Amino acid sequence: MRGVSTLLPLLGAVSRVAAAEDGSSGAVWATPHDSYSSSIGVLGCKVNTNRIAYWPGSVDCNNICVSLSYEGRSVYLLRVDQSQGAHDVSFDAWNYLYTGFSATKKPTAGGAIAMNYVNVDASACADLLHTDGNKLPLSAANSMNFLASCLAQPDSWVAKNYVLYNILDSICSWGHDEVCTLDWPAANQASCPSALGDPATLTSAPVYNIKYPSGETVVASSGQVVDAQDENIGRIGKSPDLLGLFLVVVSEIMYFL
């Protein structure tokens, strides 16, 4: 009869395979991405656009935050867009993981790099959301299909943590930078101080991209080259803080238990 000590490694291996197969953690070939977009209408002027995951699979109402690690460095990434198959991440995040430096400081060219990921609680990405209460900023005019699917799951993270703005596009070049309200389920259209969907030119809330492989910072809507933006507004790469590192370590320890 096999002893318990003999079976434990086997059970551990089985559990790790199961964890990998359910998509909660594993390894991906991460590639750099230098132009912000969001298939669900998350507004780039209200999030850290240098900490975004553009991965296969549709964005859902709960699993929107992922920890990506490489050689002892880790970052949290928002999953707010869907790729055609590649595991793209914001150039600045990829550059930091690969080299330890922001793409605005020491940009590096390269291709797919094997990195480890863990799906983590959405609250771990709170610092990437630049809104009151760290809520997910959505376009009132163009995010309703996604939002309605989440409101149909009232206990989902998005259903409890969203805010609508009267901004039409994810790079914040059209509309009004104002909060809208939604009387759900009595209404399926938001109410805004200005007309909902008014295509006014918006210049007060630019989105910036860091171009690959040059590391130049440009205005997303025009391509105009500008100075690198202050990291305090979340638009250039930052090393994870100690709390972030602790949460990543705990998540990865729990994965192996």
Length of the chain counted residue by residue: 257
Average pLDDT of span 109-124: 97
Q: Regarding the domain delimited by 24-252, which CATH topology (the fold level of the hierarchy) does it fall under?
A: Barwin-like endoglucanases (2.40.40)
Q: Is 235's pLDDT higher than 50? A: no
Cα(148)–Cα(144) distance, integer angstroms: 6
Cα(50)–Cα(175) distance, integer angstroms: 23
pLDDT of residue 233: 40
pLDDT of residue 20: 41
Q: Is 255's pLDDT higher than 90? A: no
pTM for this structure?
Answer: 0.82
pLDDT of residue 253: 54
Give 166-221 pLDDT, tens digit per residue.
999 999 999 999 999 999 999 999 999 999 999 999 999 999 999 999 999 999 99
Cα(137)–Cα(149) distance, integer angstroms: 16
The position carrying tokens 């705990």 is: 250
Q: What are phi and psi for residue 81, nearest 5 degrees? A: -150, 165
Question: For the chain, which residues make up each domain, given as ranges?
Answer: 24-252
Residues 6+ positions from 181 with CB-CB distance below 8 Å? 164, 190, 191, 192
Q: How confident is the model at residue 254 (pLDDT cuts 50, 70, 90)?
A: low
